[in-house]
Amino acid sequence: MSSSSPLLAVEGLTRRFQGLVAVDGVDVAVREGTVHGLIGPNGAGKTTCFNMISGVLPPSEGRVSLDGHPLDGLPPYRRTARGLARTFQNIRIFSEMTVLENVMTGMHARLTAGLGILWRSPAFRAEERAAKARARDLLGFVGLLAAADHRAGDLPYGDQRRLEIARALACEPRLVLLDEPAAGMNPAETHALLGLLRRLRDERGLTLLLVEHDMPLVMSLCDRLTVLNFGKRIADGTPAEVRRDPAVIAAYLGAQQAEAQTGAVPAEASGHPAEAAR
């Protein structure tokens, strides 16, 4: 792959829900080895984009390709095999399973045991042993090794988010989609998450695409940003460029003013790009 073509290319992605256009012709190009942020006010269509990229939701129009190979029409499991992994906005770990089993489930596409399961073939046992060791490695990487045998649903909220990241890493992805990884975390947890995500990029060479509302996190972590508003892309560039973009400022201030008038506390109040810059 040449350094100029992106690892993930999203072109003209569109999703209509009975007349409502949730995502409207969005283009995103994510370069290998970078952290790319997808930001925008609530309801801008960020999670819908994620669902279409990961194959959970079919797009009305548009194309998605990974490393030059089109993913269009492929079911989620095929995309996972191609090197795509994701986490969910509302945590979706397998809560009845243990923490270790959750991570091992993420390896499903990479394990090949077949009928050998029925007679515990040496190949099956070797594979299972290796998978368990790798799962423990990943748990160590996210700092959850001590909880390996706990029921996943019993973990505190922040740990469940980290488990979801470990489970996504178990898919051996090239690109990880992270849907609001910092949601519901306290400042200390968010700070630890920032370190973890940087290590994913710098130590493991992973490419990340994340949706996030925590602007200080986004601004200090992301190499590049794409901003959505009402389903349309309104800006794209480095954090410094996006922060100065008049359209972005208008979108965020507009959202704040609208919410201020209704008396609601805006979710992005502390997260305006311009504020984070100060």
Partner 1 sequence: MWEALDDFYWTYQSLIHAIGVNGILALSVYVVLAVGQLSLGQAAFMGVGAYTGALLTVKFGTPFAVSMIAAAAVPALLALVVGGPTLRLTGVYLAIATIGLGEITHIVLLNWDYAGGALGLSGIPERGGVWAIYGTLAVLLVGFTLVARSRVGRAMEAMREDEAAAGVMGVNLPRYRMTALVVSAAMAGIAGCLSAHVSSFIGPGEYGFESAVRILSYALLGGIGSPVAPVLGAAILTLLPEVLRPLADFRLMVNGLIIVLAVLFMPRGILPWRIARTG
Which whole-number Å values give the CA distances from 251 to 18, 255, 258, 278, in the listed order?
Answer: 25, 6, 11, 19
What is the per-residue burial (b if ≥16 Cβ within 10 Å, else e) of 239-270? beebbebeebbebbeebbeebeeeeeebebee
Which residue's structure tokens are 């790319």?
36
191 lies in the binding site for partner 1 (CB under 8 A): no
138 sits in the region (left: phi over 0; alpha: psi -120 to 50; else beta) called: alpha
Smallest gap from residue 28 Cβ to partner 1 (A): 19
Among residues 47, 80, 190, 207, the one that binds partner 1 under rule CB under 8 A: 80
96 lies in the binding site for partner 1 (CB under 8 A): yes
Residue among 114, 164, 120, 125 at smallest CA distance from 142: 164
117 lies in the binding site for partner 1 (CB under 8 A): yes
Calpha distance 163→246 (Å, rounded):
38
Among the listed ranges 79-87, 197-205, 227-235, 261-269, the one in contact with partner 1 (CB under 8 A) is: 79-87
270 lies in the binding site for partner 1 (CB under 8 A): no
Among residues 5, 120, 126, 260, the one that binds partner 1 under rule CB under 8 A: 120
- # chain residues binding partner 1, by CB under 8 A: 38
Instruction: Quickly list H helices, 152-204.
Output: 157-170, 187-202
Q: In the stretch 124-143, what mask flags binding to partner 1 with x, by CB under 8 A?
A: x---x--xx-----------
Task: Extract the tokens encoding 18.
Answer: 């009975």
Residue number with CB closer to partner 1 (167 or 272) = 167
Among the listed ranges 38-46, 58-66, 123-131, 219-227, the one in contact with partner 1 (CB under 8 A) is: 123-131
- What residue ranges bind partner 1 (CB under 8 A)? 54-56, 75-77, 80-81, 85-86, 88, 92-98, 100-101, 104-111, 113, 117-118, 120, 124, 128, 131-132, 167, 171
